[in-house]
């Protein structure tokens, strides 16, 4: 059974940093591209970032480009999202996703709140 478990969310001040993790199990992690998607309170889904299976290629939405860094450790079956220069508008539930356009496995999400 595919399982994705996000962690690392919390309250952070504007301008601060936070690192999210997504622990994966139930599939060959190193064979799949992975994605981060977020949802601000009461708002729609927003695509954030993606990374190829070997970590060699990445994608960022314009809203986070230059501030967020996606990475992965295939030996630990873990996906990361390093977030810096955080703004109030980054407040959201962040989801880790496998197979976004095919199988659609999502974690339960982790809440990031950016506030002073």
Partner 1 sequence: SSELTQDPAVSVALGQTVRITCQGDSLRSYYASWYQQKPGQAPVLVIYGKNNRPSGIPDRFSGSSSGNTASLTITGAQAEDEADYYCNSRDSSGNHLGYVFGTGTKVTVL
Interface with partner 1 (CB under 8 A): 33, 35, 37, 44-47, 50-52, 57-59, 61-62, 95, 100-104, 106-109
- Least distance from C-beta 16 to partner 1, angstroms? 26
Smaller CB separation from partner 1, 58 or 84: 58
- Backbone φ/ψ region at 42: left (φ over 0), alpha (ψ -120 to 50), beta: left
Smaller CB separation from partner 1, 44 or 66: 44
**90 SS3 class:** helix
**88 SS3 class:** helix
Token representation of residue 116: 């002073």
- Least distance from C-beta 39 to partner 1, angstroms? 8
Beta partners for residue 98, in sequence order: 34, 105
Smaller CB separation from partner 1, 61 or 71: 61
């Amino acid at each position: 059974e595919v399982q994705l478990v996000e962690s690392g969310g919390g309250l952070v001040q504007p301008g601060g940093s936070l690192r999210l993790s997504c622990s994966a199990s139930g599939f060959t992690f190193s064979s799949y591209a992975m994605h981060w998607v977020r949802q601000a309170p009461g708002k729609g889904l927003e695509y954030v970032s993606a990374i190829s299976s070997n970590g060699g290629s990445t994608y960022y939405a314009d809203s986070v480009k230059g501030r967020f860094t996606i990475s992965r450790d295939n030996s630990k079956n873990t996906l990361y999202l390093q977030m810096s220069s955080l703004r109030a508008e980054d407040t959201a539930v962040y989801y880790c996703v496998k197979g976004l356009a095919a199988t659609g496995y999502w974690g339960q999400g982790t809440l990031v709140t950016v506030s002073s």
